[in-house]
Chain A
């Protein structure tokens, strides 16, 4: 097996006793999807923000190994380097697309922004990339000049994904990407995500409280409760044979249709 893409050690960020996340360690390999599940307030989102360089940890280390074998210790690196990573080799999909999109500019500009930040100064190329990515995420390319606010919730979420994928990232962070969408739209989005992850060999850290989403997308799971990881392992293993009392509770509390 090759080297881990992301190596996390003893990551801790606490807002109060057992509020936040503490002592989290794991390795993420290229092309792997890691699900983070747990109840509200268990520290999932805190963990995600610390992993993605948005929130400085109290203790711990996040090391990213770039494509050319360069290693970046996220919190030793400069702010400029962190920003560069976040808009080139990484992506972040927010739960609410309004937080991840620029709502005042067109869909095409949203998709092109990362390319412009990387120095693409050719309108024709930006336009091409916009059209191509709209097609990839199954939005009608004819809507390239429309504002995101005229899109439905599911389309906004897909646009947000396209906006992140345009820079060909190797690692994506997703915070409840299907939250707030109705079931059929959720299914469509998950299907699309699964396809893209396989096709682009993306590594993903996905936070969700929906075990169905976790089962569909994630290769591995970590279960969090009261700021700590209580169980980690392969998705099927955890969902079919949970060991920790809390994981058992979590799995058994899902309604079976």
Chain B
């Protein structure tokens, strides 16, 4: 791709990280507001990105706005670095911003993600960028946006528990397994994007900054480092983490989030870590030991 490269190594005809400087400034202003009011949804002027809505346009705009030349970018989709979406987005920023990329969680300064928070504990200074499909946790029950905004403003969150009630009435337990609503800093109820509820506790008091971008809905929100994040629940049906009987077929982990794979026509099942970096790190450690 050398023919397309500009003076500073990025693709010719484009500004650094694709978006023009004014757009990135407006996004950063929105992000600052989002960080100042944890969990609050800030509207922003979303731009067309060269890929369809639903493929991570919100997350990409946030990444473009905060990316610096010295940043090291990691992109995951369902925890994996090698899926189509992750590969495309990583290559996009390599071409348009010429930044270094990595597969290692510990080495990344910015991690854009679709569904997971990495198993490797995040550190201070790292930034998670989430691609959000539906930023509004109240949308399922209240279609009007002006109404949901006043509900947020007035702390009127009774209906959030209606959803959990329905789960228990139908299934006997809280069956919501992803996009599990949380209260941020004891104020705003937030949809933590479609991460599995397994990852909800990782939001609580995380040393890393969490930024959320919804491209179609044009909303930004954030969880600053060391912020209290509590999952909603009932007193007699407390928040529970999913558990697996199995361990990872590759690395043997019993702590990580496992994907279930069907490996042959006879229906044989295998469980493997959804976080590929975590899994391969553990694998190589065992090889050394």
Contacts and interface: CB of A to CB of B under 8 A. Distances in A.
Q: Do A and B bind each other?
A: yes
A106 B150 CA distance: 25
A116 B235 contact: no
A43 interface: no
B154 A117 contact: no
Count chain B CB atoms within 10 A of each CB in A87, A102, A116, A124 and give the residue with the most. A116
Count chain A CB atoms within 10 A of each CB in B156, B161, B168, B234 and give the residue with the most. B161
Interface residues of A, number: 24
B236 A104 contact: no
B165 A104 contact: no
Nearest to A114: B158
A121 B141 contact: no
A23 to B, nearest CB: 31
A83 B156 CA distance: 9
A83 B159 CA distance: 14
Count chain A CB atoms within 10 A of each CB in B150, B166, B169, B236 and give the residue with the most. B169
Contacts of B235: 121-123
B237 interface: yes
A83 B151 CA distance: 10
B162 interface: yes
B156 A123 contact: no
B158 A123 contact: no
A102 B169 contact: no
Given A105-B141, A117-B159, A123 B165 contact: yes
Interface in B147-205: 150, 154-159, 161-163, 165-166, 168-170
A175 interface: no
Interface string A103-124: 0111011001110111001111
A113 B159 contact: yes
A112 B158 CA distance: 10
A121 B158 contact: no
A211 to B, nearest CB: 36
A112 B165 contact: yes
A255 interface: no
Nearest to B163: A105
A22 to B, nearest CB: 28
Interface in A72-103: 79-80, 83, 87, 102
Is the contact region of chain A dominated by helix, strand, or loop, or is it mixed?
Answer: helix
Given A106-B169, A123-B168, A145-B169, A113 B162 contact: yes
A109 B161 CA distance: 9
Interface in A109-141: 109, 112-114, 116-118, 121-124, 126-127
Given A106-B169, A117-B159, A80 B154 contact: yes
Nearest to B165: A109
Contacts of B154: 79-80, 83
B166 A105 contact: yes
B234 A102 contact: no
17 contacts: A80-B156, A83-B154, A104-B141, A105-B162, A105-B163, A106-B169, A106-B170, A108-B165, A108-B169, A112-B165, A114-B158, A116-B159, A117-B159, A118-B158, A121-B161, A123-B165, A124-B236
Contacts of B165: 105, 108-109, 112, 116, 123, 126
Nearest to B160: A116
Interface string B66-85: 00000000000000000000
A112 B170 CA distance: 15
Contacts of A106: 166, 169-170
The 3 closest A-B pairs by CB, nearest first: A117-B158, A116-B161, A123-B234
B237 A123 contact: yes
A80 B153 CA distance: 9
Contacts of B155: 80
B141 A102 contact: yes
B189 to A, nearest CB: 13
A122 B22 CA distance: 50
Given A104-B141, A145-B170, A121 B162 contact: no
A95 to B, nearest CB: 21
A2 to B, nearest CB: 31
Contacts of A102: 141, 162
